[in-house]
Amino acid sequence: MLEELYREIILDHYQHPRNRGRLDGAEIKIEGANPSCGDEISLYARLRDGRIEDVRFEGHGCSISQASASMMTQQMKGKTLPEARALIGDFKGMMRGQAPHEEALGDLIALQGVRKFPVRIKCATLSWVALERGLDDYESAGGAVEGTATTEDNL
C-alpha cells in the first residue's frame, strides 16, 4: 500500500512537473547529465539574502530523474544555503542506504525505493548533484555562476 502511494507521488511529479522552465535572473545555471542513461537537466536558482528564492529546471530523461528534479525544486524554495546543503546531504545519504530523516525529506521519501535499483540512483540524484555543484561554484566565486555537473561528480 505504501509502495503504491510512493509510485503515485513519483508518477504525478513526472506527469505534472513542478517548477519546470527557465528562470530569469538566476545566479546559478548548471547543466547536469547522467552519462549512464542519457538524462539531462538544466537547473536554475535565484538566491536572495542567503536563501533560495526560486529554483527551476528543464530537461529530459526518465521518470525518476524528472520526478526527483520536480520534488527537489519544491523542497528547496525558501531554504537557506546551509538548510539546502543539509537536505542535499540527507537525500544523497538516503540514496546510499542510510536511514532517511523522514521529517526533513517529506515526500522525497517516496524515492527511497530507487535504492533497490543501483543503476537508477544516478537518475534520482542528478538534480541534487547539479544543485550542489551550483551552490559550491556560487560560494567559491562569490556570485553568479554557470557550469556543468554529472552524476559522476559526487555521490
Q: Given this model, what pLDDT does residue 30 score?
A: 97
Provide the 8-state DSSP code for 99: P
Total-model pTM:
0.92
**In this predicted model, what pLDDT tens digit does every residue of 53-96 receive, in sequence order?**
999 999 999 999 999 999 999 999 999 999 999 999 999 999 99
Q: For residue 122, give Cα distances in angstroms to 1, 51, 69, 140, 144.
A: 26, 26, 12, 25, 26
For residue 69, give the nearest of 131, 136, 152 by alpha carbon. Answer: 131
pLDDT digits (tens, 9 = 90+) for 126-139: 999 999 999 999 99
The partner residues of 44 in beta bridges, in order of sequence, read 29, 56
Tell me the β-bridge partners of 148.
31
Residues 6+ apart with CB under 8 A from 142: none
Domains of the chain: 2-145 (3.90.1010.10)
Nearest CA-CA partner of 124 in 77, 69, 57: 69
